[in-house]
Amino acid sequence: MAPTDENLPSASDIERFDPCAAARPAAPAQPTVSDRKPPTAASEIGWGLVSTAILAAWLGWQWGWVFAAAGVLGVLVHELGHLAAINSLGCGPGRIHVIPFFGGAASMARAPDTEFKGVLIALAGPVAGLAATAPFYLLYANGGDRIWLQGVLFIGGMNLLNLAPVPPLDGAKALGPALAWLHPNVERAVMILLGGIGVYWAVSHGQFLIAVVIGLSLAQALRGRAFRVPALRLTALQWAVSMGLWVGAVVLCGSVTWSALAPNT
């Protein structure tokens, strides 16, 4: 893991523990560590396959094979959504990393120069990620076996949860700039409050890994470090659009999740 700029969030720590949230700039190239060889394409593909297999096996062991298939496909399509936004907004080339037990992460070569681009990149994952429900809907429509709705539930729920403004989730990056636009302390207070609730929920449900993930980000917030790489602030119009897009994404992900839960779908 390359050392990072002191001004950046401690990516070396969180990158490892990122539950799919993290569309963030890759660590800037450090001339002092230039002897570090870049991974070859073969080793990257190999590691990608191994980590995908570990993720699938873990999901399958925890919840069954439909969840495993939904988890792997859901993470992939979600990260592809981030990747498309990263590349089309001039922050690329982006890269996808599969993280066993936690999902995935998309990294980008350049940090967004405006907060609004960061919002769009953050929301692209959960919204595009819903496309992964299509094969599960089709399989359900083709025979009516409700087991396929588990895939829809998992993908919808995963993207919905990801929109919570809790670091390091996408919601923190999507809503953070709008909250900070009101006052930087509003963003910090919301993240600390919801992060605290998240840690409490995770611990009380025995989800200690999730508690550690949120706790690490929360510690960063409590230490007063920046959540995001500084960028041009939102204009009033961009603030309104950001809020609207976040609410729209929540409604969309919520509707998909609900469609899998509703009786007689």
Residue reference for tokens 């449900």 = 205
The minimum distance between CB 65 and Zn ion, in angstroms, equals: 24
The minimum distance between CB 84 and Zn ion, in angstroms, equals: 12
CA torsion through residues 257, 86, 14, 7, sign? negative
Compare residues 76 and 241 and give the one whose CB is closer to Zn ion: 76
The minimum distance between CB 58 and Zn ion, in angstroms, equals: 19
| CA atoms of 235 and 181, how far apart (whole Å) | 9
Other Cβ atoms less than 10 A from the Cβ of 183: the count is 10
The minimum distance between CB 99 and Zn ion, in angstroms, equals: 12
Three-state DSSP state, 100: coil
- C-alpha Rg value of the chain to the nearest Å: 18
Compare residues 20 and 213 and give the one whose CB is closer to Zn ion: 20
Compare residues 171 and 195 and give the one whose CB is closer to Zn ion: 171
Write out the residues near Zn ion by the rule CB under 5 A.
Answer: 20, 125, 170
| CA atoms of 136 and 139, how far apart (whole Å) | 5
Token pair for residue 229?
A: 């790489």
Residue reference for tokens 């070396």 = 12
Give the CB-nearest residue to Zn ion.
125
Compare residues 20 and 160 and give the one whose CB is closer to Zn ion: 20
Of 126, 68, 97, 145, the closest CA to residue 248 belongs to 126
Compare residues 79 and 140 and give the one whose CB is closer to Zn ion: 79
The minimum distance between CB 98 and Zn ion, in angstroms, equals: 13
| CA atoms of 153 and 159, how far apart (whole Å) | 10
Compare residues 20 and 132 and give the one whose CB is closer to Zn ion: 20
| CA atoms of 218 and 168, how far apart (whole Å) | 9
Q: Are 115 and 184 in contact (CB under 8 A)?
A: no
